[in-house]
Amino acid sequence: MTDFFNGIPKIAFEGADTTNEFAFRHYNPDEMVMGKPMKDHLRFAAAYWHSFAWPGGDPFGGQTFERPWFGDTMELAKLKADEAFEMFQILGVPYFCFHDADVRPEGANFTENSARLEEIVDYFAEKMDATGVKLLWGTANLFSHRRFMAGAATNPDPEVFAFSAATIKTCMDATMKLGGENYVLWGGREGYETLLNTDMGRERAQAGAMLQMVVDYKHKIGFDGAILIEPKPQEPTKHQYDYDVATVYGFLKDFGLEGEVKVNIEQGHAILAGHTFEHELALARELGIFGSIDMNRNDYQSGWDTDQFPNNVPEMALAYLEVLKAGGFTTGGTNFDAKLRRQSLDAEDLILAHVGGMDACAAGLKAAAAILEDGGLEGARASRYAGWDSEFGKGLMSSDLTSIEAQVRVNDINPEPASGRQERLENLVNRFV
């Protein structure tokens, strides 16, 4: 262990008026919100990759962070784990998430990779026992190493498919062993750079076969967590197959897996796909595939994945409103898939970025709950559609064009539009955010 976080206290709730940077202003874990402690609504997780594995590089510059645990040895991997668990405890986050490549140095081949992963998993198990921190989800990094440059499951080379499948197995095993509540698949390289060298039909079939194997293996080993796909439209590739929630749904329906797989929705990925975060959440809920969220913030005007810590409470309230309307999280949670700006060099930055994000989530959640408890918004929505609850409305849904035309003619149906009242509803929401 080092003194990296030395002197940073465990963060406590002090209320909205505190001026202490190292305190929560809104996140009060045991405060009851709609009948449940806030911590059980939010189910916060910290992400290993951004906070502990990322060196601060961007496409025009290299490493800016200097961390005592950077390096390629197992000793440093364990030091990294020590520091990570110290951060989890300082913040009081109940969960964390990781990729295999975040936690162990890259080996010479699959066998070495998996041995190293197992060693770290054992080390994690001890630390989880000791601290009570749990695993929200595990996943395999099938995009950073050059072998994955043309995809993992969708690679034109079947050997890469095989390497990927084997790696997924080890990561599912690790997730199971650590009691993870979900297993996530993000297909960063499952897409294409150019259609000129791509056989989309083959690649789609490969992706379907891999997903079926993942589901089968889940059942085989008795993993009772959820399998989650994380949609993203592009970056690193020109086009990713898991473009958005609607695209994933069509894919799941095509392979008959819509009852087996759900989605992990990231704010930034929603934005890059041209959707609001709340759109993606609402759609997943309506399609029955809502799973978990990756909370962060994408700059609306930067066309790449900025993965900033969230801070706009009015927007976050709309997101948690959809989460609450979906019944809240079951296996899912709020994972901070957010990274420091590369100029934020200090340990304090790492802690305070999470503190601010957690506070913004808590404020958003409370606002969403207040909107639901007030009832005005949902009441207005229901009354707008009230005509569909009439006999006429119900009858239409199972009618046919010929009958409807006759009704329109006979009754001279000539509907007059009614105000959609958007601004009034926006004002209503602003009362609570």
Residues 89-148 that bind a second copy (CB under 8 A): 109-111, 143-148
Residue in 190, 305, 329, 337 binding a second copy, rule: CB under 8 A: 305
Give me the residue label for tokens 């990713």.
240
In this structure, what are the phi and psi dihedrals at residue 239, rounded to the nearest 5 degrees? Answer: -145, 130
Nearest to 293 by CA among 256, 257, 330, 259: 330
- 6 touching a second copy, by CB under 8 A: no
Q: Which of 278, 332, 361, 365 binds a second copy (CB under 8 A)?
A: 278
Among 70, 72, 186, 171, residue whose Cα is nearest residue 114:
171
In the complex, the smallest distance separating the C-beta of residue 13 from a second copy, rounded to whole angstroms, is 15
Q: Which of residues 316-375 bind a second copy (CB under 8 A)?
A: 318, 340-346, 348-349, 352-353, 355-356, 359-360
Q: Give the total of residues touching a second copy (CB under 8 A).
A: 157
Site for a second copy in 202-221 (CB under 8 A): 202, 204-206, 209, 213-214, 216-217, 220
In whole angstroms, the minimum distance from the beta carbon of 281 to a second copy comes to: 10
- The yes or no reply on residue 72 touching a second copy (CB under 8 A) is no
Task: Report d(CA 95, CA 107) in Å as an integer.
Answer: 27
Strand 95-99 and strand 290-295: pairing? Answer: unpaired
Stretch binding a second copy (CB under 8 A), from 32-40, 123-131, 328-336, 412-420: 412-420
What type of residue is 154?
A: T
Tokens of 216: 């089968």
Please state the closest distance from residue 132 (CB atom) to a second copy, in A.
26
Is position 99 annotated as part of the catalytic site?
A: yes
**HSE (side-chain half, CA atoms, 13 Å) at 227:** 24
Name residues contacting a second copy, limited to 151-190 (CB under 8 A): 156-163, 165-166, 168-170, 172, 188-189
Can you tell me the distance from the alpha carbon of 26 to that of 261, in angstroms, rounded to the nearest whole number? Answer: 33
Write out the binding residues.
Answer: 230, 266, 269, 294, 305, 307, 337
Tokens representing 337?
């898939």
Residue type, 366: K
Among 10, 197, 222, 327, the residue binding a second copy under the rule CB under 8 A is 197
Residues 6 or more apart from 174 whose CB is under 8 A from it? 100, 117, 118, 121, 138, 180
Please identify, using beta-carbon distances, which residue of 134 and 305 lies nearer to a second copy.
305
For this structure, is 254 an active site residue?
no
- In angstroms, what is the minimal distance from the CB of 129 to a second copy? 28
How many alpha carbons fall within 13 Å on the CB side of residue 306?
A: 13
Q: Which of 99, 275, 279, 354 is catalytic?
A: 99
Amino acid at 107: G
| Burial zone of 383 (CB within 10 Å; 0-12 exposed, 13-18 middle, 19+ buried) | exposed
Ordered alpha helix ranges (H), 375-421: 376-384, 391-397, 401-410
Binding of a second copy at residue 392 (CB under 8 A)? yes
Contact flag: residue 222 with a second copy (CB under 8 A)? no
10 touching a second copy, by CB under 8 A: no
Query: Which of 100, 102, 244, 359 does the annotation list as catalytic?
Result: 102
Annotated binding residues for Mg(2+), written as ranges, equal 230, 266, 269, 294, 305, 307, 337
Which amino acids are annotated catalytic? 99, 102
